[in-house]
Amino acid sequence: MKSTVLKTAVASAIVAGALPTAAAAEDLTLCWAAWDPANALVELSKDFEAKSGHNMSFEFVPWTSFADRMLNELNSGGQLCDLMIGDSQWIGGGAENGHYVKLNDFFDANSIDMGDFIPATVTGYAEWPKNTPNYYALPAFGDVVGWTYRKDWFERPEIRAEYKEKYGRELGVPETLEELKDIAQFFQGREIDGNTVYGAAIYTERGSEGITMGVTNALYNYGFQYENPDQPYDIEGFVNSDGAVAGLEYYKELYDTATPPGSSNWYMGENIDAYKSGQVALQMNFAFIWPGVEADANVGGGKSGYFPNPAGPEGQYAQLGGQGISVVAYSEKQDAALEYIKWFAQPEIQARWWELGGYSALRAVVEDPGFASSQPYAQTFLDSMAIVKDFWAEPAYADLLLSMQERVHNYVVAGDGTAKEALDDLVKDWIEVFEDEGKL
């Protein structure tokens, strides 16, 4: 990281030195997913332990079982977790079901201003209802779906010449989803360095959230909307609009014509493995993977490039990832947990978070003049966070998600029916959920 980011953040820090400690040191448990950023948080949290006197323990669960494990913990009123970095879609249920402590008074008392964070992360990770100043989390980890590509392959003269002859334009970062599909199809089945390679690793996983987190990057840009902007929960003609149908058809064509054999149930880990092992030219994945790509001996050190999700006919958007950090309402150590929130919100800690591989959502960090050049992927992160949309954050989000996973996977991967039929059925599913919730 450029030193200017850290210096600026430190200079603007309000809180410095030791944190005020509780009457007695306590053991706090923070629950999150098991992935590289969690390891970075363990390292970062050593500063909190030294300054507060509290001891930190961590419960990290693999993404494929993270939601089941932690939502069961919350729904049962369990006391395993004092702090939880819950997924963005959990905020509605966390608020309405009383799982998370409302933080407004705490923020006011400690001069923590949500205006100091990237607006999309406040809306996505902290607010319920959306677009109201009711906060149940502090933005903890900014994340978004973007693309990684084999820059070294793109730069080979013979590959560039063949691509230009075929498509009449230079091989480079795609500006549109159609150009991305052309590039993926161009590399599909190509021989590079004696190995057969393929176009793109995309999300197709059915069991948790994978294919939904992938297909939305096409749906949004072709015109899909979750609801009528003027009438909440009015979804007919928006979820299954002509544009949404075209976006779903696009994603299926990309899957059918430009992905590796056997990639019918892939999510973050499988995409990472395919890319790092040299199987694919392009990889769809959340931004959290980029530090690991840069550090990898096979694809790092300038061999890879990064770009935001390209535009479609109806705009340019990307699926929001990331999480906020909340105090669990069932914890008996809420005061100590709030100390952790206060510590984590400090600009100097947020700067260190970015330095260790976490994605800070604090504007003092990401708007620092040195941020964009601090890592090869930093500008792509900024550009991507400016175009985000998110899945439903309704308390019934899990039911909404399961329906979408089933309908989309059955069409894209299994080839059942048409895109229009899949989205029409999804509308019926979602209407039933909202009726059961009393929203319709």
Q: Residues 357-385: pLDDT tens digits?
A: 999 999 999 999 999 999 999 999 999 99
* Same structural domain, 169 and 234: yes
Could you report how far apart the first and last alpha carbons of the chain are, in Å?
A: 50
Q: Interhelix angle for 157-167 vs 177-187, to 10°?
A: 120
DSSP per-residue string spanning 161-229: HHHHHHHSS--SS-SBHHHHHHHHHHHTT-EETTEE-EEEE-----SSSHHHHHHHHHHHHHT--SSBT
* Span of 22-31, 122-131, 264-273, 395-404 with lowest mean pLDDT: 22-31
Residue 401 lies in a domain: no
* Same structural domain, 175 and 110: no
Please report which confidence band the pLDDT of residue 356 belongs to, taking 50, 70 and 90 as the band edges: very high
- Point out the domain boundary residue: 295, 319, 343: 319
- Point out the domain boundary residue: 285, 301, 319: 319
* Same structural domain, 252 and 268: yes
Residue 435 lies in a domain: no
Please report which confidence band the pLDDT of residue 19 belongs to, taking 50, 70 and 90 as the band edges: low
Residue 242 lies in a domain: yes
- Point out the domain boundary residue: 373, 389, 405: 389
Scanning 29-176, the segments in alpha helix (DSSP H) are 36-52, 63-75, 91-96, 104-109, 119-121, 151-154, 157-167
* Same structural domain, 175 and 190: yes
* Same structural domain, 242 and 329: no
* Same structural domain, 223 and 259: yes
* Same structural domain, 56 and 164: no
Residue 181 lies in a domain: yes
E strand or H helix that includes residue 426: helix 419-436
CATH number at residue 223: 3.40.190.10
Domain that holds residue 153: 145-319
* Same structural domain, 47 and 97: yes
Q: Interhelix angle for 36-52 vs 334-344, to 10°?
A: 110
Q: Over the chain, what is the mean pLDDT? A: 94
Residue 376 lies in a domain: yes
Residue 305 lies in a domain: yes
Establish how many alpha carbons lie within 13 A of residue 124's alpha carbon, considering only the half-sphere containing its beta carbon. Answer: 26
* Same structural domain, 165 and 311: yes
> What pTM did the predictor assign?
0.93
* Same structural domain, 26 and 55: yes
